[in-house]
Amino acid sequence: MQSTVQTKEVAPQPARRTGTFWNRMVRQRQLIFMSFPMLFYILLFAYAPIWGWLMAFQHFRPGFSILNQEWVGLDQFRFLFEDDAFLRVLRNTLGMSVISLVLGFVTAIGFAILLNEIKKSGIKRTIQTISYLPHFLSWVVVTGLVATSLSTEDGIVNIVLLKLHLIEEPILWLGEGKYFWGIVGASNVWKEVGWNAIIYLAAIASIDPSLYEAAEMDGASRYRKMLHITLPGIKPVIVILLILNIGWILNGGGFEIQYFLGNGQVSDWSETIDIFVLKYGLKIGNYSLGVAAGIFKTVVSIVLLFAANTIAKRLGEERLI
């Protein structure tokens, strides 16, 4: 009788982690040392000022120590939500933020996809360079250009509309609140569309070219390739950038543009939370109310950021953490 010996296959064991945490820290010490300046910058300008949040719970008076102030609890926050002016600037901030966010994403993605379809590299580089140069202009310069372009006397916008017989007389664009949000959104697009498109162009470049070749062999048109290959290929990048931008939604699409283009005629439409903080904190001298408004903005931004990240996680999309 012959006996058979059965051998059991041993499952491969996972490789043991070599080195301890401190050994890895020593091996990567150059990277750690390089991160020290940025870490110091963040601690100094992002976390150290949090000490000043105590003013939101006080009736702060300059000239006295922050610990020797009259404590009022949540009175400043209660006043915020009962103040019609704050509710108005909150509406303005959300309105301009949503407009700038939607227009910024749609135009940047569309511009990147169309630019990618240009086959001549020279023309492509020229258009890309021209489109992102406005990003390097100061908002002071940009708002000056916008104000000049919208002028009722010699503004190019009114001149063109009059020549095309679309209007009968020049429009005071910066004197009517109903136009202000659209002006802010259009200005943000003009300034940032080329710069924002760079990220999407880099994402498009990472898509496997064989997918386009296979689609072309199957007779797919350019439109079909953009719809079924390019857009799904850059979808993770779109989701990540959307999460990041949602965290900034209470910025109102910027601060300088509303501050420089706003005036008394459109103040009900142009003031944002940042301008509210500036007005109450520095001009009126109610530092406690200004700090309370700033805390509200920060907390809401953090909540929105984590909420967007959680929703993306549950939908199986890319996320930050």
**Phi and psi torsions of 70, nearest 5°:** -80, 120
- Helix%, strand%, coil% for the chain, nearest 5: 70, 0, 25
Q: What is the mean pLDDT of residues 120-132?
A: 90
Residues 253-268, buried b or exposed e (16+ Cβ, 10 A)? bbbebbbebbeeebbe
| Residue 52 counted as domain residue | no
pTM above 0.75, yes or no: yes
Reading phi first (left if > 0) and then psi (alpha if -120 to 50, else beta), residue 73 is in: left
> 186 falls in which pLDDT band (50, 70, 90)?
very high
Sequence-distant (6+) residues with CB within 8 A of 50 are none
Answer whether residue 193 shows pLDDT above 80.
Answer: yes
Query: Of the given ranges (24-28, 122-126, 204-208, 270-274), which has the lowest mean pLDDT?
Result: 24-28
Q: What is the pLDDT of residue 7?
A: 46
Answer whether residue 218 shows pLDDT above 80.
Answer: yes
Query: Of the given ranges (67-76, 158-167, 310-319), which has the lowest mean pLDDT?
Result: 310-319
Sequence-distant (6+) residues with CB within 8 A of 282 are 290
Q: What is the pLDDT of residue 8?
A: 47
Question: What is the Cα 183 distance to its own chain's centre?
Answer: 18
Cα–Cα distance measured from residue 112 to residue 233, given in angstroms and rounded to the nearest whole number: 13
Residue 224 neighbours by CB distance under 10 Å: 13
Cα–Cα distance measured from residue 208 to residue 29, given in angstroms and rounded to the nearest whole number: 36
| Residue 28 counted as domain residue | no
Q: What is the pLDDT of residue 19?
A: 56
The whole domain housing 81 covers 70-314
Q: What is the mean pLDDT of residues 139-159?
A: 92
| Cα separations in angstroms, 64 against 34, 239, 292 | 40, 47, 19
| Cα separations in angstroms, 101 against 104, 158, 246 | 5, 27, 8
| Residue 40 counted as domain residue | no
Mean pLDDT computed over every residue of the chain = 86
| Residue 267 counted as domain residue | yes
> 194 falls in which pLDDT band (50, 70, 90)?
very high
CATH no. for residue 170?
1.10.3720.10
Q: For residues 9 and 164, which has the higher predicted lDDT (pLDDT)?
A: 164
Q: What is the mean pLDDT of residues 192-213?
A: 91
Q: What is the mean pLDDT of residues 208-236?
A: 89
| Residue 63 counted as domain residue | no
Answer whether residue 17 shows pLDDT above 70.
Answer: no
Number of domains the chain is built from: 1
> 23 falls in which pLDDT band (50, 70, 90)?
confident
Query: Of the given ranges (6-20, 67-81, 304-318), which has the lowest mean pLDDT?
Result: 6-20
| Residue 190 counted as domain residue | yes
> 110 falls in which pLDDT band (50, 70, 90)?
very high
| 105 token code pair | 């994403």
Q: What is the mean pLDDT of residues 42-63?
A: 87
What is the share, in percent, of the chain residues with pLDDT greater than 90?
40
Q: What is the pLDDT of residue 69?
A: 85
| 22 token code pair | 């401190």
Say if strands 70-71 and 58-59 run parallel, antiparallel, or are unpaired. antiparallel
| Residue 55 counted as domain residue | no
| Residue 65 counted as domain residue | no
> 308 falls in which pLDDT band (50, 70, 90)?
confident
